[in-house]
């Protein structure tokens, strides 16, 4: 998966692929993920602070996209999570599915 077309304004982090949900849907990203259970789970990094779709389409859209990525077999890391999204993930009991801090480089 070419990271250059998917990245946000995040610095490249080894072992992670930065995903910009403004450029591709989660279903499109999920279609590029490996389907073999023998392969390690891909680690995706999403900068929520830069997502235009979070402001235009809302929290429910972003949560739905995150669930598609998780169900496709990816570990999803969220960077720059605003309090509204964090609270929604907590209320929906989804905060355990998504890492909400930037991984160490």
Residue 77, token pair as written in the block: 């890391």
Average pLDDT on 88-95 reads: 93
Between the alpha carbon of residue 98 and those of residues 4, 5, 11, 69, the distances in Å are 23, 23, 20, 10
Q: What is the pLDDT of residue 2?
A: 38
pLDDT 10s digits, 18-43 = 999 999 999 999 998 887 777 788 99
Computed over every residue of the chain, the mean pLDDT equals 83
Identify the band that residue 9 occupies on the pLDDT scale cut at 50, 70 and 90: very low
What is the full DSSP assignment across 43-66?
Answer: EEEEEGGG-HHHHHT-HHHHHHHH
**Res. 4: pLDDT tops 80:** no
Band (13; pLDDT cuts 50, 70, 90): low
Domain boundaries, the chain: 3-25+40-99
């Amino acid at each position: 998966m070419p990271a250059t077309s998917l990245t946000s304004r995040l610095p490249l982090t080894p072992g992670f692929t930065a995903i910009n949900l403004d450029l591709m849907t989660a279903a499109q990203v999920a279609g590029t993920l490996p389907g073999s259970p023998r392969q390690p789970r891909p680690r995706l990094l999403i900068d929520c602070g830069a997502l235009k779709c979070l402001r235009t389409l809302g929290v429910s859209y972003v949560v739905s996209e995150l669930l598609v990525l998780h169900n496709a077999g990816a570990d999803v890391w969220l960077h720059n999570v605003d309090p509204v999204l964090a609270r929604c993930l907590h209320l929906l009991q989804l905060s355990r599915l998504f890492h909400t801090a930037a991984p160490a480089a």
